[in-house]
Amino acid sequence: MAELKELISRFKLVRTRSSNLTKIVVIITIILCMGALLTLRLAMTGIEHSTDKLADQAAALEQSNIDLEEKIGQLGSVQSVMDIAREELGLVNPDTVIFEPEN
């Protein structure tokens, strides 16, 4: 009978040690999972920021394309050719009189 009590007390001691080890392993696993979730959240926030920035750039480029398409549509007209010659090349009509101020 004494041997049975001693065997039971040893079993309880082993069971308590393994139970504590299991608790420690579970706690460490939970902490590692929380760290992984935090890292993933930070990465997702960075990706969202990059996506927003790229969407803004895309919108700006689309507006630039619209402006360029309008300019291309106007290039064929005589008035647009005259405007380009006057504004970008400094040309004027032959019958235009230019007054220059005296210094």
Calculate the alpha carbon distances from 84 to 69, 90, 93, 94 in Å.
16, 9, 13, 16
DSSP 15-54: HHHHHHHHHHHHHHHHHHHHHHHHHHHHHHHHHHHHHHHH
pLDDT digits (tens, 9 = 90+) for 18-37: 678 888 999 999 999 999 99
**Residue 75's pLDDT band (cuts 50, 70, 90):** confident
pLDDT at 93: 79
Can you tell me the mean pLDDT for 59-81?
Answer: 86
